[in-house]
């Protein structure tokens, strides 16, 4: 059964590696990367402990405090995705107080045994289910609070957008919230129905955590671009002599570039936040190689810049018409999945931030 810890750790580290390779990374990507890395380390330490018993007491004891970070990570990730936070500082770190308080409690209660300097069976088998009840209660209360807090932020952002449906980024956030809720329910069930006379091996909790990590991986890779960049193929094609396989000559490229330009102006597919090279190629009846060649030779840029330039141009036109348009609403309407990515692209193509541009009108 302990191998469930290893499964969760391996999947978490795999997803972290995808985020490390993702260029560029947003603030939300960095928060998710830290969150998944924490889950991976947390589960791997427990795997080593339960399977081999080789974990130093200090590492094991500090690891017991990680659940207090799950709620803050969720809130930070939601805030970053919807554009409330491009960076974290000051009061944001107050959310780490329960985690820090638990660490202090370990040091005060067990002293040198926490570091493995003194023998203490209790201090080397720490669990939130076997320590002071106040910490168990605090954890079980904090997770629903952070979930509710995250939903409130999403609701406010949706009211700003004013759209009848939810953007794909919001659906992804709901999946994150539901996954953490599943882990919380498993922890509650284990706490309420466990045999107090048996050692605390919360396998049900880690089964739920494993499902959470694998679920995020599946949804992120198949339904969103969270862990990947759809434009990677186009960038690779711009660096490799693959155009020979496309069968397009200069005249054909010129003609297809005209068709592409007309299609973009008429249909405006770039307003879709999940638009990829493959999707656009299918809409035009071209292969990805052909479309990549047309963009690179006709526009002298990558697929990403081709799409983002049009999104930024659309945003400028809308700001010209109404400088008071809320920037989060503008970002979502123009095809960006977060305010931070909107700000980066806008600055890249205009040398100004969206707010500076709006003030100049």
Mean model confidence pLDDT for the chain: 81
Q: Would you state the pLDDT for residue 33?
A: 95
- The helix (run of H) or strand (run of E) holding residue 83 is none
Stated pTM of the model: 0.63
What percent of the chain lies above the pLDDT cut of 90?
Answer: 40
Tokens of 227: 């862990």
Residue 94 DSSP class: G
**pLDDT tier for residue 18 given thresholds of 50, 70 and 90:** very high
Q: Rounded CA gap, 154 and 176, in Å?
A: 12
Give the integer Cα–Cα distance in Å for 106 and 214: 32
What's the whole-number mean pLDDT along residues 301-329? 92
pLDDT tens, 271-280?
998 899 889 9
Beta strands in the chain (DSSP E): none
Q: How confident is the model at residue 312 (pLDDT cuts 50, 70, 90)?
A: very high
Helix axes 27-52, 203-222, angle to 10 degrees: 140
Would the pLDDT of 5 be above 90? no
Q: What residue segments make up the domains of the chain, in order of their start?
A: 3-222, 232-360
Average pLDDT over residues 213-233: 73
Contacts of 197 (CB under 8 A, 6+ apart): none
| pLDDT at residue number 238 | 40
The CATH number assigned to the domain with range 232-360 reads 1.10.10.60
- For residues 39-49, average pLDDT: 91
pLDDT at residue 40 is higher than 70: yes
Lowest mean pLDDT among 38-42, 109-113, 228-232: 228-232
């Amino acid at each position: 059964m302990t191998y469930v810890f290893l499964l969760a750790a391996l999947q978490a580290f795999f997803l972290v590696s995808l985020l490390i390779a993702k260029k560029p990374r947003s603030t939300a990507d960095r928060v998710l990367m830290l969150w998944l890395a924490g889950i991976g380390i947390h589960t791997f330490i427990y795997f080593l402990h339960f399977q081999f018993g080789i974990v130093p007491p200090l590492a094991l004891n500090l690891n017991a405090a990680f659940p207090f970070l799950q709620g803050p990570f969720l809130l930070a990730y939601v805030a970053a995705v919807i554009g409330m936070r491009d960076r974290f500082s000051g009061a944001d770190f107050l959310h780490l107080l329960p985690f820090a308080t638990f660490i202090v409690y370990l040091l005060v209660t067990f002293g040198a045994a926490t570091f493995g300097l003194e023998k203490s069976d209790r201090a080397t088998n720490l669990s939130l289910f076997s320590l002071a009840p106040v910490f168990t209660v605090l954890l079980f209360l904090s997770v629903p609070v952070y979930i509710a807090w995250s939903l409130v932020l999403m609701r406010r952002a949706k009211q700003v957008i004013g759209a009848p449906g939810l953007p794909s980024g919001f659906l992804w956030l709901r999946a994150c919230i539901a996954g953490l809720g599943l882990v919380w329910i498993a922890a509650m069930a284990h706490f309420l129905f466990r045999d107090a006379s048996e050692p605390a091996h919360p396998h049900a909790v880690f089964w739920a955590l494993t499902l959470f990590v694998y679920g995020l991986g599946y949804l992120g890779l198949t339904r969103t671009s969270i862990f990947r960049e759809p434009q990677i193929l186009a960038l690779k094609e711009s660096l490799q002599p693959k155009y020979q396989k496309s069968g397009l000559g200069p005249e054909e490229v010129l003609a297809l570039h005209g068709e592409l330009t007309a299609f973009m102006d008429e249909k405006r597919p770039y307003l879709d936040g999940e638009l990829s090279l493959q999707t656009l190629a299918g809409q035009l009846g071209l292969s990805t190689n052909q479309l990549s060649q047309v963009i690179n030779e006709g526009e002298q840029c990558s697929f990403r810049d081709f799409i983002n330039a049009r999104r930024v141009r659309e945003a400028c036109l809308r700001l010209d018409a109404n400088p008071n348009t809320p920037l989060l609403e503008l970002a979502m309407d123009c095809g960006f999945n977060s305010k931070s990515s909107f700000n980066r692209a806008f600055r890249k193509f205009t040398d100004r931030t969206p707010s500076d541009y709006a003030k100049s009108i």
